[in-house]
């Protein structure tokens, strides 16, 4: 599902108070059990690894890939690091048996990893576990005073949930195979195991059909994957222990099908590929036999192309308007006693389920498809939340959670991290019901994602969701999560993901000849508006041709600077900020105060930055206010009520979106103003 | 040639005093003639281009590539920008006739580009000129208050020299086709037209030979290009108007050949691939008929694989030791009256020239091959300099300059920029002699270049050499060059070159968990030692397996920060630095002063950074000294002689290499100390 407004309040969650103890293990997701040892295993130029027990070409490729990543991580690019017989290897990998020919839900992904000063042993029942363990080993590699090394440790690990997915919408914006592959590399690094490929929607049909070639020829604007490319991606995913679940959204979200095959639609047509975002009227004519004949043949073709057991039929957001306006459909409903859109869609779903089942697949769909008359093997992907999921489980259906995991809503990682598939209603399920909760999927809907910024919309935040789905439910320390997320982010950069590297060129483009450093100061403290506010605030409707080259498109979903500033302000107000911290805070506020003067000429010179002039002014004003608050606190002077109310009025404005961006440090400055009085009073008493 | 020590003093050249007038055109190389117009051509979502006159698939691919680059430059990734019939195009490209089937030396590369507010016309006699003009157009695209646009302008352009090359040594370190391709993209962007592929040397033989497969099987460590890959790269280069000249270095620099074919050598063998750097003894047995039979067959095979007219046989740095130690060779020399190594090499060269000629190619080699008995079509590539080049030209040989263009010597761009093929002895040649000077080549020898930092060793400095070879000799304004070089550097980043993006990850790897910001402060002001000092200063001999992951490998060849600081110090001492500039200078010096305290824990935690501890301390000391000098100047106080001599003694030490790095801001601080007295005195007189 996409566009129904989720009525969620946007809150920054308070940091967990659980303290991190000992050195941080640079692992994400955190393993089930970690026993630190003593000493470390040095990674030398002669590092080697070798396979023991069961072997297969996939494992050999995994070894080679592991060495490539190890070379990048250590900068030891041309070395003798090599694959050798297990008896001679520094890292011995023991695998028990093969996985299934096509990766199945719930296959064993467990592994144990023992690292000693003299060598390491990775043991796993199946290749899948070995893949997971190799990623753990790579994450542990760090630079130390004596060399690159891995700390001695004993890890036993297995996932909490068997279904840990990432969905990418390639319909609203198309992404080439290269872009998808690097995101699969990212998935492997954080142990996600399902790539959900949202392949069709109103804005584009993205797979070659040989039976119905007008689907891609007329429905994609030339941007689609050939069947060879699909097979290539599936093989790439299998190498990384990732299942590929295709989604063909129906009976709504299907305008792109109708461009080539208008006879499938409930309205008269003709149709063109939808260029705008939203929920649209076109829907399949679910009363016609020829629709089912078409879908039978199409699903038959796709069931062969995509080997995974699950076949996602979407099923979300049918507004029913075309059904209402079609007299034939109305007559059909009347004759069968079908009263509502939901009932008509249920009629469709049961037919589709039969077709999907006939072709050997298990049907999956969004919440809307659920009706008690469907067979119990159907899987529900819930954008609605734990209540909906629990209700499905009680009825005997398996489900996975995507509510709370929509990356395109621009939430901070901590907010996603706080969402657990097993809370609220799901937590109250009986044991059998709980077993039906398979896991979850992070979703990236691509209205505002281009090949240039897709990675920064997904990463590193998806890693926090990956941890939620792999690690124990009790792993909830947000500070620890953020510390480890930074390491993961750097590793992902080394894999070729562009979530970090695309920032600077996008800012340079905006600044032109201007002061890119000043622009960065501003860009570092703004975030795109949350949830669906970008659409709400748009002056003109965006389309798929609208360039994504504004500051909102370059800005990171979550501002590190703002998060750190917020933590410092909390310390300041608690009287716990040391002099160095205070000096740092003053320097930061002065930087902001002076930044507008530096940035305005650049803004004037760039048509894309002109909308950001107010933000820049506001940031400088925040600097001034923050410094005044600090001065007052340092001097132990009370802040006048007049001053205070004046600043709070300004801050209220500054916290509103401007150019669809949020000035994320404004709430912290507001705290300084509000809290300043008390601190100043305390300072007067305890000078 | 490679390793004979070039006895060049390392000097930073003073900036040219020619002032830049008017807005900077973001062009490099500067065209022959630029007439600014008024207004600008907006690049809209509906931008289009189309071909008029002669057409060919290469031009169509160039159009598509142009649109791809334009999309990246503007961030208008998914737009209606398109290729249309010329009559409807915004940018009309008119081409007169085809180029040769294989690009020849001296083909017409001229073009004219007219940009008006309503459209643009690019006209060129051949596709080569169109390729050049398209790059000019792309460089002109800029962001303005009203949109992305190109200023109205009329440009007439043609290169000064017909041979403008970049040599990459793939023997000492191997680079995959992808790495080479992105460097060819860079070459196209700055109008270089010869890729000189240094394919064999002691450390590796890098091309598949089907006739002599042991060359690559035993001489490459598995790192070589298949013939299909060679063809792929040549096609890629041709699309970009770039010739590909292969070099197979002989009779020296050839150890890698002898691993598989020891019978070619003058010494007994057996041989292994050389792992170290330097000049080594092994040389071909140039007295044996079977050597020439082998080379005849080999060159015949390669002459077919590489279509270019020129065939580079190297010919440099034969030390003659194996010849001296071989009784048979000594007897041969005596019997033929051959007295010296040079004479024996000349004997070899005349045989090889006949073979190269027999296979339809023109021989090229380094200075050493030149002897008056060679045919006059031979081309000399001079690492020795203009005198050697002029001497060759006087004898009737064509030549090109690489002296002064060795990128691996880590010179600043300004130093390369100051080297002109037509100065000194070459400037005094007669007209016919001058015509024999074909141009020049930038050379990147790869002892210290990995796939990770190769781009930063070549770019953006190679663009300054490209301008030297394309633009008029009178184009010498260094400030203008540096200003434009920055734009080129950003454009190259957009093409996928990694000279900017690899810096941060390399620093992060060094810093580990530590303070990467503090490390960056240090890294920003150091440069690798120049010329061959890295080898001189090495404690243990480096080999091809030595990781290139130290600070010297991450540091940029030229420090922007140091160049800008130096310019500010000059202003300061001239009494021309305004208060804002002074405040900036103080802030910079304070940053340095405080940096060591921040950085030392990181240094202690990283075995790779421990060698940089002294540098970090020195930088902080420079900050202190600089601030003291500023204080004295501001206060109009004389600096005591004691203080001064103490600081100068310290600075002398600080200017010495440490960890094979130069603290490039030390000379500027020295100026502050030396100049401070005079300025302080002046301040006392004119307070």
pLDDT tens digits, one per residue of A49-62: 999 999 999 999 99
Q: How far apart, in whole angstroms, are the C-alpha atoms of residue A630 and residue A343?
A: 63
- Count of all residues that appear for chain A in the document: 687
Domain parsing of chain A, residue ranges: 33-157, 503-685
B165 burial via Cβ count (<10 Å: 0-12, 13-18, 19+) = buried
**Contact between chains at A80 and B545 (C-beta distance less than 8 A):** yes
Lowest mean pLDDT among A517-521, B19-23, B671-675: B19-23
pLDDT of residue B8: 37
CATH level 3 topology of A33-157: Chitobiase; domain 2 (3.30.379)
**Contact between chains at B450 and A173 (C-beta distance less than 8 A):** no
**Contact between chains at A608 and B451 (C-beta distance less than 8 A):** no
Q: Evaluate if residue A15 carries a pLDDT over 80.
A: no
pLDDT tens digits, one per residue of B485-522: 999 999 999 999 999 999 999 999 999 999 999 999 99
Q: Evaluate if residue B387 carries a pLDDT over 60.
A: yes
pLDDT tens digits, one per residue of A571-592: 999 999 999 999 999 999 999 9
Mean pLDDT across the stretch A126-144?
98
> Is residue B135 within a helix (H) or strand (E), and if so which, with residue range?
helix B127-140
Q: How far apart, in whole angstroms, are the C-alpha atoms of residue B662 and residue A7?
A: 59
Q: How far apart, in whole angstroms, are the C-alpha atoms of residue B419 and residue B385?
A: 10
Find, among B461, B576, B671, the residue nearest to B28 by Cα.
B461
pLDDT of residue B9: 34
Whether omega for the bond prior to residue B140 falls within 30 degrees of 0, making it cis, is: no
Residues 80-109 of A with CB under 8 A from B: 80
Mean pLDDT across the stretch B41-70?
97
B359: three-class secondary structure by DSSP: coil
**Contact between chains at A144 and B547 (C-beta distance less than 8 A):** no
Compare all CA atoms of chain B with the CA of A511 and give the residue at the minimum distance. B143
Nearest to A143 among B78, B553, B607 (CB): B607
Establish if B584 touches chain A: CB-CB under 8 angstroms: no
What is this structure's pTM?
0.94
pLDDT tens digits, one per residue of B364-379: 999 999 988 899 999 9
Compare all CA atoms of chain A with the CA of B46 and give the residue at the minimum distance. A545
Nearest to A549 among B75, B504, B506 (CB): B75
DSSP annotation of B557: S
Q: How far apart, in whole angstroms, are the C-alpha atoms of residue A274 and residue A288?
A: 24
pLDDT of residue B540: 83
Q: How far apart, in whole angstroms, are the C-alpha atoms of residue B18 and residue B205?
A: 48
Contact A603, A613 (CB under 8 A): yes
pLDDT of residue B14: 32
pLDDT tens digits, one per residue of B412-449: 999 999 999 999 999 999 999 999 999 999 999 999 99
Establish if B587 touches chain A: CB-CB under 8 angstroms: no
Mutation target vs A (from B80, B138, B143, B605; most A CBs, 10 A cutoff): B143
Closest CA–CA distance from residue B430 to any residue of chain A (Å): 44
**Contact between chains at A79 and B45 (C-beta distance less than 8 A):** no
**Contact between chains at B144 and A490 (C-beta distance less than 8 A):** no
Locate all alpha helices (DSSP H) within B155-226, ordered by sequence: 177-189, 214-219
**Contact between chains at A77 and B450 (C-beta distance less than 8 A):** yes
In sequence order, which residues have a C-beta less than 8 Å from that of residue B468 and are 6 or more positions away?
Answer: B416, B417, B419, B420, B440
Closest CA–CA distance from residue B658 to any residue of chain A (Å): 19
Across all residues in chain B, what is the average pLDDT?
A: 94
Q: Evaluate if residue B4 carries a pLDDT over 80.
A: no
Q: Which of B188, B301, B317, B364 is catalytic?
A: B317
pLDDT of residue A9: 34
Q: How confident is the model at residue A373 (pLDDT cuts 50, 70, 90)?
A: confident
Closest CA–CA distance from residue B522 to any residue of chain A (Å): 19
Q: Evaluate if residue A14 carries a pLDDT over 70.
A: no
Q: Evaluate if residue A1 carries a pLDDT over 80.
A: no
Closest CA–CA distance from residue B512 to any residue of chain A (Å): 6
The pair of three-digit structure tokens given for residue A114, joined into one six-digit string: 């023992």
Compare all CA atoms of chain B with the CA of A72 and give the residue at the minimum distance. B452
Whether omega for the bond prior to residue B460 falls within 30 degrees of 0, making it cis, is: yes
Residues 113-142 of A with CB under 8 A from B: 142
Q: Evaluate if residue B380 carries a pLDDT over 70.
A: yes
In sequence order, which residues have a C-beta less than 8 Å from that of residue B337 and are 6 or more positions away?
Answer: none
Mean pLDDT across the stretch B601-608?
98
pLDDT of residue B683: 58
pLDDT of residue B677: 61
pLDDT tens digits, one per residue of A385-402: 999 999 999 999 999 999
Nearest to A77 among B452, B505, B604 (CB): B452
A307, HSE (Cβ side, Cα atoms, 13 Å): 15
pLDDT tens digits, one per residue of A550-569: 999 999 999 999 999 999 99
pLDDT of residue A7: 37
Residues 484-513 of A with CB under 8 A from B: 490, 493-494, 500-501, 504-506, 508-513
The pair of three-digit structure tokens given for residue A395, joined into one six-digit string: 């009825």
> Is residue B41 within a helix (H) or strand (E), and if so which, with residue range?
strand B33-42
Establish if A450 touches chain B: CB-CB under 8 angstroms: yes
A572: three-class secondary structure by DSSP: helix
Contact A285, A354 (CB under 8 A): no
The phi and psi torsions of A159 (rounded to 5 degrees) equal -75, 150
pLDDT of residue B21: 41
Sign of CA dihedral B655, B659, B661, B665: negative
Residues of A involved in catalysis? 317
Q: How confident is the model at residue B682 (pLDDT cuts 50, 70, 90)?
A: low
Query: Residue B143: its chain A contacts at CB < 8 A?
Result: 509-512, 605-608
pLDDT of residue B23: 57
**Contact between chains at A607 and B549 (C-beta distance less than 8 A):** no
Q: How far apart, in whole angstroms, are the C-alpha atoms of residue A403 and residue A420?
A: 10
Q: Evaluate if residue A529 carries a pLDDT over 60.
A: yes
**Contact between chains at A548 and B452 (C-beta distance less than 8 A):** no
pLDDT tens digits, one per residue of B135-145: 999 999 999 99
Mean pLDDT across the stretch B11-33?
60
Percent of chain A with pLDDT over 90: 90
Find, among B323, B205, B324, the residue nearest to B253 by Cα.
B205
pLDDT of residue B13: 32
Query: Residue B174: its chain A contacts at CB < 8 A?
Result: 78
Across all residues in chain A, what is the average pLDDT?
A: 94
Closest CA–CA distance from residue A79 to any residue of chain B (Å): 5
pLDDT of residue B655: 97
Contact A264, A294 (CB under 8 A): yes
Q: How confident is the model at residue A159 (pLDDT cuts 50, 70, 90)?
A: very high
B338 to each of A68, B252, B265, B329, how far by Cα in Å?
Answer: 52, 18, 19, 10
Establish if B606 touches chain A: CB-CB under 8 angstroms: yes
Query: Residue A75: its chain B contacts at CB < 8 A?
Result: 450, 452, 506, 509, 547-549, 553
Establish if B305 touches chain A: CB-CB under 8 angstroms: no
Q: Evaluate if residue B51 carries a pLDDT over 90.
A: yes
Q: How far apart, in whole angstroms, are the C-alpha atoms of residue B634 and residue B625?
A: 14
Compare A640 and A258 and report the one with higher pLDDT.
A258
Nearest to A144 among B79, B450, B605 (CB): B605
pLDDT tens digits, one per residue of B318-365: 999 999 999 999 999 999 999 999 999 999 999 999 999 999 999 999
Q: Evaluate if residue B16 carries a pLDDT over 60.
A: no
Contact B434, B474 (CB under 8 A): no
CB atoms within 10 A of CB B272: 12
Residues 142-201 of A with CB under 8 A from B: 142-147, 173-174
Contact A43, A74 (CB under 8 A): yes
B232 burial via Cβ count (<10 Å: 0-12, 13-18, 19+) = middle
DSSP A366-407: EGGG--TTS-TT-EEEESS-HHHHHHHHHTT-EEEE-TT-BG
pLDDT of residue B5: 39
- Count of all residues that appear for chain B in the document: 687
Residue keyed to tokens 């003073």: B14
Closest CA–CA distance from residue A143 to any residue of chain B (Å): 6
Q: How far apart, in whole angstroms, are the C-alpha atoms of residue A364 and residue A287?
A: 22
Query: Residue B551: its chain A contacts at CB < 8 A?
Result: none
Q: How far apart, in whole angstroms, are the C-alpha atoms of residue B534 and residue B658?
A: 11
Q: How far apart, in whole angstroms, are the C-alpha atoms of residue B13 and residue B407?
A: 17
């Amino acid at each position: 599902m996409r566009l129904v407004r989720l009525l969620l309040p946007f809150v920054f969650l308070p940091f967990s108070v659980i303290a991190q103890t000992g050195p941080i293990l640079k692992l994400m997701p955190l393993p089930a059990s970690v026993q630190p040892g003593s000493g470390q295993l040095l990674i030398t130029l002669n590092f080697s690894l070798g396979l023991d027990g069961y072997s297969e070409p996939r494992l050999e490729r995994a070894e080679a890939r592991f060495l490539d990543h190890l070379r990048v991580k250590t900068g030891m690019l041309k070395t003798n690091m090599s694959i050798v017989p297990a008896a001679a290897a520094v890292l011995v990998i023991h695998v028990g048996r093969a996985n299934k020919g096509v990766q199945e839900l719930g296959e064993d992904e467990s592994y144990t990893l023992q690292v000693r000063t003299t060598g390491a042993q990775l043991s796993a029942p199946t290749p899948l576990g070995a893949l997971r363990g190799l990623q753990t080993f790579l994450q542990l590699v760090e630079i130390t005073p004596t060399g690159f090394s891995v700390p001695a440790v004993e890890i036993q690990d297995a996932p909490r949930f068997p279904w840990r997915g990432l969905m990418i919408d390639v319909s609203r914006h198309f992404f080439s195979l290269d872009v998808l592959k690097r995101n699969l590399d990212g998935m492997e690094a954080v142990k996600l195991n399902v790539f959900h490929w949202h392949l069709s929607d109103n804005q584009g049909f993205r797979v070659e059909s040989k039976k119905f070639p007008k689907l891609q020829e007329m429905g994609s604007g030339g941007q689609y994957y050939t069947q060879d490319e699909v097979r290539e991606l599936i093989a790439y995913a299998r190498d990384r222990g990732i299942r590929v679940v295709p989604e063909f959204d129906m009976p709504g979200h299907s305008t792109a099908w109708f461009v080539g095959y208008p006879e499938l639609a409930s309205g008269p047509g003709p149709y063109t590929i939808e260029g705008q975002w939203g929920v649209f009227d076109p829907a399949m004519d679910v009363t016609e036999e020829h629709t089912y004949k078409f879908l039978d043949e199409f699903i038959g073709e796709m069931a062969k192309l995509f080997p995974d057991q699950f076949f996602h039929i979407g099923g979300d957001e049918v507004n029913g308007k075309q059904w209402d306006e079609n007299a034939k459909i109305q007559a059909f409903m009347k004759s069968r006693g079908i009263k509502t859109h939901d009932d008509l869609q249920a009629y469709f779903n049961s037919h589709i389920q039969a077709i999907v089942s006939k072709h050997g697949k298990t049907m999956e769909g969004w919440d809307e498809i659920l009706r008690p008359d469907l067979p119990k093997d159907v899987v529900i992907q819930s954008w609605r939340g734990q209540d909906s999921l629990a209700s499905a489980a009680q009825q005997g259906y398996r489900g996975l959670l995507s509510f709370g995991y929509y990356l395109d809503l621009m939430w901070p990682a901590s907010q996603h991290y706080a969402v657990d598939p097993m809370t609220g209603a799901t937590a109250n399920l009986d044991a059998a019901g709980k077993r039906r909760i398979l896991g979850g999927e992070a979703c990236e809907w691509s209205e505002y994602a281009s090949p240039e910024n897709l990675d920064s919309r997904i990463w590193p935040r998806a890693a926090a969701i990956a941890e939620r789905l792999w690690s124990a439910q009790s792993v909830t320390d947000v500070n620890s999560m953020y510390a480890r997320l930074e390491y993961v982010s750097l590793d992902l950069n080394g894999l070729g993901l562009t979530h970090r590297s695309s920032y600077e060129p996008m800012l340079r483009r905006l600044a032109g000849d201007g002061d890119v450093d000043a622009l960065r100061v501003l860009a570092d403290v703004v975030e795109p508006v949350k949830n669906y506010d970008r659409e709400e605030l748009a002056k003109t409707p965006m389309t798929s041709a609208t360039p994504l080259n504004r500051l909102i498109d370059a800005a990171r979903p979550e501002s590190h600077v703002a998060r750190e500033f917020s933590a410092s302000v909390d310390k300041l107000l608690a009287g716990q900020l040391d002099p160095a911290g205070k000096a740092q805070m003053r320097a930061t506020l002065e930087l902001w105060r002076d930044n507008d003067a530096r940035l305005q000429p650049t803004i004037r010179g760039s048509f894309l930055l002109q909308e950001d002039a107010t933000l820049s002014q506001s940031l400088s004003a925040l600097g001034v206010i923050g410094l005044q608050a600090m001065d007052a606190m340092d001097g132990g002077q009370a802040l006048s009520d007049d001053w205070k109310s004046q600043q709070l009025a300004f801050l209220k404005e500054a916290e509103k979106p401007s150019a669809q961006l949020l000035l994320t440090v404004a709430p912290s400055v507001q705290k300084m103003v509000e809290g300043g009085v008390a601190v100043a009073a305390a300072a007067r008493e305890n000078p």
